[in-house]
Amino acid sequence: MSKDVLTDRGYSARIEFDAGDCAFVGMITGIQDVVGFHADTVGDLVAAFHEAVDDYVATCAATGKSPERPYSGKMMLRVDPQIHAASVRAAELAGVSLNQWSEQALAKAAGARAGRQEAGHA
């Protein structure tokens, strides 16, 4: 199964299928506001996504609101103590702090998507 993602100007969407309504339902991710869209066909879904991004950006501009979600860069994680210990050992062996090692591991796991989205955002 493909894990393709709809993207437009750095925005991405999570897509689900609602079997009850026989429709695709999408939500724009990475923003504070809830922006959804739906369609009955894949082609219409893609068009609805682009329209939702256009509407979101236009609404933010009209209200003077920034369309970006402010991430602080601080994360609080709770993990199994064995994973914590193994992570500390891996960081020490790599010669970096646990924060640096964790950031590298998260970036690799996320496919460094954040950097690619920033580069494509106008």
Q: Is the pLDDT of residue 95 over 60?
A: yes
Do 10 and 55 lie in a common domain?
Answer: yes
Domain of residue 11, residue span: 6-63
0.75 exceeded by pTM: no
Do 10 and 59 lie in a common domain?
Answer: yes
Looking at the domain assignment, is residue 100 inside a domain?
yes
DSSP string, the chain: -----EEETTEEEEEEEETTTTEEEEEEESSSS--EEEESSHHHHHHHHHHHHHHHHHHHHHHT--SS----S-------HHHHHHHHHHHHHHTS-HHHHHHHHHHHHTTTHHHHHHHH--
The pLDDT score that the predictor gives to residue 112 is: 61
Split into its structural domains, the chain has a count of 2
Looking at the domain assignment, is residue 90 inside a domain?
yes
Do 15 and 53 lie in a common domain?
Answer: yes
pLDDT tens-digit readout, 1-29: 345 788 898 888 999 999 999 999 999 98
Do 104 and 58 lie in a common domain?
Answer: no
